[in-house]
């Protein structure tokens, strides 16, 4: 737990100014809500423009999301339909059957000698066209009954056959009756073969096919010219179109081509309207569909976003209110928290601008865990977990590229896992290298989460996997770079003493510690001992042990101004206090906290360190010089009164647990060191006496140490001192009886 300071109304000097003003704190939380609202506005609330039909656009308008370009899509469909070739159907009308029917009629009538020649001519003029027509109609009827052909096609077939019907020349009817039985027998197979052969081709124009008949007949075995002529004409009459235009099939093919045409999209951030363009009906409809028109805007999303922002802000407010962090009262730290939120969300927004529909996975590049790490180091780990949940929730909205969804759980989950892994890694960090470790953990667990989601979806591509993992790795490493770069800024700007900074300040090569060691070695040793004692005591009650240890190293730095006036530095020299007035001695002694603070300020040391140096003595009484002054006054029969207040440290009293603990450890270490051969009972009695004396003197009235914690501190100090002075402790004598042979 970070610095816990009991902020109560009676400590006016701690609660004065804007840093502890309740009204300003409320404004700060409202500002946090405004940040949430502003960050999510573009994603959740469509932008609207004051536009009317026919006007010129005053600004360039970009598509807030991917949308289908209806006009372009329709044009693409029409173009696809135009590219579709006409559909034709090949129909077998079985014209060879008609050939057999005609020759059967010829054989029958020619063989009848009772029928006169003129009657035969008349019959052929009437019957042959009728046979062709009837059998053709029967074939079409059969096709209709089969259900394989639509009515429109059959109608087009009938129309085509009628249009391309071949009329037999008149002289044919006069020559047919003169054909003998032998002639007809010879002509029948030839005619049938010619019709079958030519009808096997796709015939759209019968005239072209009929032109080939004479050539084929000339290659036949028919010897008589009359037979050849009649076969030619009959075959021409039987050659009909067999390839017909299918209007319905063509329309269906065009319809299928339209359906297969993919929609044409206007991608996110594409220009919808350029500045100066006239708003046409098409553009107006498009803007209306995207809900970008001001006069038709829906304000409900704004209300919803406002409620959502308030809820997120309320979560942070309640968590801080229920905690014991200094942030609960310190508006300076609240400003830092809000700044971290603003920077982290800004980073996510910048990465979101690089996203598009084709590569939404760029969102994995965002250093979402940046804010979580900074909060964990600078403020509090539990607060970092709550912030991580909010960051992940916001990431699921900002990186969502699906216009029909409010959240994309993939980015939220990856962000949550990355933030949590970072906070778990960075807790109680004592080295800068821990930040790098946190970045590697972010990258590893983010990649693991992405891999699990891709495997669950089971329709990923290798390129998508590699790019997703690469972006996640880059995001983790980028987080490390930003944290290392921003951490000193926050530490210096807000006076935050992070564990990493404390470890740096504990380096013996620090100029002040080197000065302490070289000029006051006794004080240096004393400070190290106090550091060990105070760290153990602080950790036993959950206070900041590292702050106590480092604060102890610097708490007596003011003694370097007059080192010989402090007993731990009086090696082989006389005590100068023996020869000077106790009031002067008092002035020298009580000045070292003030001198220390001034020296720490000169080196721009963090305020918590300065507070420990200033407050570790509180307003305690210098008993030795007070009683010495009283004794001298009695010996001199001086009428001048000796006031106790004049022999007290200037204070202030300890304002934090850490300052109080360092003060206790300082007194305990000095007192125990003064004992020649301390025993366990003497140490316990000394620790109890010092704590009780400070408690009775009201030195703990302005910090939140409880009696139970004071008892725990006393036990811990006893145990620690036992380990330090174990070689000199005289244990109670015990009678030990040695066994024979032992």
pLDDT band at 297 (very low <50, low <70, confident <90, very high): low
**Cβ atoms of residues 217 and 236 within 8 Å:** no
**Token couple for 420:** 């949590």
For tokens 């002529």, name the residue. Answer: 229
DSSP classification of residue 278? B
CA angle (171, 174, 177) in 5-degree steps: 145
pLDDT at 723 over 90: no
3 pLDDT more than 70: no
Q: For the chain, give the percent of residues with pLDDT over 70.
A: 92
Statement: residue 635 has pLDDT above 70:
yes
Looking at residue 732, what is its pLDDT?
52
CB 550, CB 564: distance < 8 Å: no
Helix (H, G, I), strand (E, B) or coil at 292: coil
Question: Predicted confidence band at 737 (pLDDT cuts at 50, 70, 90)?
Answer: very low
Q: Above 50 in pLDDT, residue 288?
A: yes
Helix 331-352 / helix 22-44 crossing angle, nearest 10 deg: 10
Q: Quick check: 94 pLDDT over 90? A: no
Q: What angle do CA 280, 284, 289 make, to 5 degrees?
A: 150
Dig out the tokens for 730 from the structure.
């005289």
Residue 555 has pLDDT above 90, yes or no: yes
Query: C-alpha angle 382/386/389, rounded to 5°?
Result: 140
The pLDDT confidence band at residue 296, using thresholds 50, 70 and 90, is: low
Does the pLDDT value for residue 742 go beyond 70?
no
Question: Tens of pLDDT along 368-422?
Answer: 999 999 999 888 889 999 999 999 999 999 988 776 678 888 899 999 999 999 9
Residue 161 has pLDDT above 70, yes or no: yes
What pLDDT is stored for residue 429 in this prediction? 60
Given this model, what pLDDT does residue 47 score? 72
Contact 701, 651 (CB under 8 A): no
Say if CB 175 and CB 120 are below 8 A apart: no
Q: Is 245:88 a contact under the CB 8 Å cutoff? A: yes
Tell me the per-residue pLDDT of 674-710, one tens digit each, with 9 for 90 and over. 877 788 888 899 999 999 999 999 999 999 899 999 9
Query: Is the pLDDT confidence value at 651 over 90?
Result: no
pLDDT digits over 572-583, tens only? 778 888 788 888
Between 10 and 47, name the one with better pLDDT. 47
Under the banding of pLDDT at 50, 70 and 90, the label for residue 357 is low
- Written as six digits, the tokens of 42 are 């573009």
Please give the residue that has the higher pLDDT: either 734 or 269: 269
pLDDT of residue 731: 46
Q: How far is CA 424 from the centre of its chain?
A: 19
User: What's the pLDDT score for residue 208?
Assistant: 87
Q: What is the CATH number of domain 506-728?
A: 1.10.3210.10
**Poorest-confidence range of 131-140, 262-271, 367-376, 446-455?**
262-271
HSE (side-chain half, CA atoms, 13 Å) at 639: 0
Higher pLDDT, 730 or 616: 616
pLDDT of residue 6: 40
Greater confidence (740 vs 35) lies with 35
Q: What rounded mean pLDDT belongs to the chain?
A: 85
Say whether pLDDT at 715 is over 80.
yes
Asked whether residue 204 carries a pLDDT value surpassing 60, the answer given is yes
* Section 312-320 average pLDDT: 92
Give me the pLDDT at residue 149, please: 79
Spatial CA neighbour of 396 closest among 386, 406, 385: 406
Q: Of the ranges 268-277, 293-302, 623-632, which one carries the lowest mean pLDDT score?
A: 293-302
Q: How far is CA 472 from the centre of its chain?
A: 10
Tokens 């040391």 belong to residue: 605
Per-residue pLDDT tens for 44-66? Answer: 877 777 777 788 877 887 776 67
- What pLDDT is recorded for position 436? 86
Nearest-angstrom CA–CA distance, 663 and 660: 5
The model's pTM is: 0.62
pLDDT band at 657 (very low <50, low <70, confident <90, very high): very high
């Amino acid at each position: 737990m970070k610095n816990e300071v009991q902020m109560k109304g009676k400590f006016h000097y701690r609660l004065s100014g804007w840093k502890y003003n309740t009204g300003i704190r409320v404004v700060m939380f409202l500002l946090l809500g405004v940040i949430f609202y502003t960050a999510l506005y573009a994603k959740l609330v469509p932008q609207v423009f004051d536009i009317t039909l026919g006007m010129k656009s005053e600004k360039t308008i970009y598509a807030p999301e991917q949308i289908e370009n209806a006009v372009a899509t329709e044009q693409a469909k029409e173009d696809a339909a135009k590219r579709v070739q006409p559909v034709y159907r090949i129909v077998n009308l079985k014209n060879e059957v008609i050939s057999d029917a005609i020759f059967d009629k010829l054989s029958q009538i020619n063989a009848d000698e009772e029928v006169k020649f003129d009657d035969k001519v008349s019959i052929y003029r009437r019957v042959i066209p009728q046979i062709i027509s009837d059998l053709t109609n029967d074939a079409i009827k059969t096709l209709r009954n089969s259900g394989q052909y639509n009515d429109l096609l059959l109608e087009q077939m009938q129309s085509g056959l009628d249009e391309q019907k071949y009329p037999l020349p008149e002289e044919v009817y006069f020559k047919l009756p003169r054909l003998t039985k032998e002639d007809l027998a010879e002509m029948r197979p030839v005619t049938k073969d010619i019709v079958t052969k030519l009808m096997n081709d796709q015939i759209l124009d019968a005239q072209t096919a009929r032109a080939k008949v004479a050539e084929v007949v000339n290659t036949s075995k028919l010897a008589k010219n009359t037979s050849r002529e009649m076969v030619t004409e009959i075959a021409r009459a039987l050659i009909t179109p067999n390839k017909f235009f299918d209007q319905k099939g063509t329309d269906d093919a065009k319809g299928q081509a339209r359906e297969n045409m993919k929609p044409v999209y206007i991608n996110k951030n594409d220009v919808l309207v350029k500045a100066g363009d006239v708003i046409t009906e098409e553009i107006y409809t498009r803007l209306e569909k995207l809900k970008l028109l001001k006069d038709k805007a829906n304000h409900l999303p704004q209300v919803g976003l406002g409620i959502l922002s308030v809820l997120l802000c309320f979560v942070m407010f309640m968590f801080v209110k229920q905690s014991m962090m200094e942030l609960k009262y310190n508006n300076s730290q609240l400003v830092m928290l809000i700044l971290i939120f603003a920077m982290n969300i800004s980073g996510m927004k910048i990465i979101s601008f690089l996203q598009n529909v084709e590569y939404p996975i760029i969102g994995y590049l965002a250093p979402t865990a940046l804010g979580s790490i900074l909060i964990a180091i600078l403020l509090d780990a539990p607060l970092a977990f709550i912030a991580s949940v909010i960051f992940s929730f916001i990431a699921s909205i900002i990186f969502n590229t699906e216009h029909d969804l409010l959240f994309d759980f993939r980015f939220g989950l990856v962000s949550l896992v990355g933030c949590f892994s970072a906070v778990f890694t960075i807790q109680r960090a004592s080295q800068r290298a821990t930040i790098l470790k946190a970045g590697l953990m972010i990258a590893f667990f983010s990649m693991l989460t992405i891999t699990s989601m891709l495997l669950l979806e089971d329709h990923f591509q290798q390129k998508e996997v590699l790019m997703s993992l690469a972006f996640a790795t880059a995001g983790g490493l980028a987080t490390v770079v930003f944290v290392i770069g921003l951490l000193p800024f926050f530490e210096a700007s807000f006076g935050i003493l992070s564990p990493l900074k404390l470890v740096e300040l504990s380096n013996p090569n620090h100029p002040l510690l080197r000065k302490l060691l070289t000029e006051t070695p006794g004080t240096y040793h004393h400070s190290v001992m106090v550091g060990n004692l105070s760290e153990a005591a602080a950790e036993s009650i959950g206070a900041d042990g590292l702050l106590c240890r480092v604060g102890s190293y610097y708490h007596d730095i003011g003694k370097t101004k007059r080192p010989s006036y402090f007993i731990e530095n009086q090696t082989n020299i006389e005590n100068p206090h023996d020869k000077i007035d106790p009031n002067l001695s008092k002035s020298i002694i009580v000045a070292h906290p003030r001198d220390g603070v001034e020296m720490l300020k000169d080196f721009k040391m963090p305020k918590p360190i300065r507070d420990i140096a200033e407050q570790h003595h509180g307003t305690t009484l210098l008993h030795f010089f007070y009683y010495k002054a009283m004794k001298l006054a009695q010996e001199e029969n001086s009428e001048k009164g000796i006031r106790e207040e004049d022999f007290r440290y200037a204070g202030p009293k300890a304002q934090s647990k850490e300052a109080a603990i360092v003060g206790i450890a300082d007194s305990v270490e000095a007192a125990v060191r003064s004992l020649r051969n301390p025993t366990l009972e003497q140490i316990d009695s000394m620790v109890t006496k010092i704590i009780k004396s400070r408690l009775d003197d009201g030195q703990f009235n302005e910090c939140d140490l409880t009696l139970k914690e004071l008892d725990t501190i006393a036990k811990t100090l006893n145990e620690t001192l036992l380990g330090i002075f174990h070689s000199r402790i005289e244990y109670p004598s015990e009678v030990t009886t040695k066994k024979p042979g032992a």
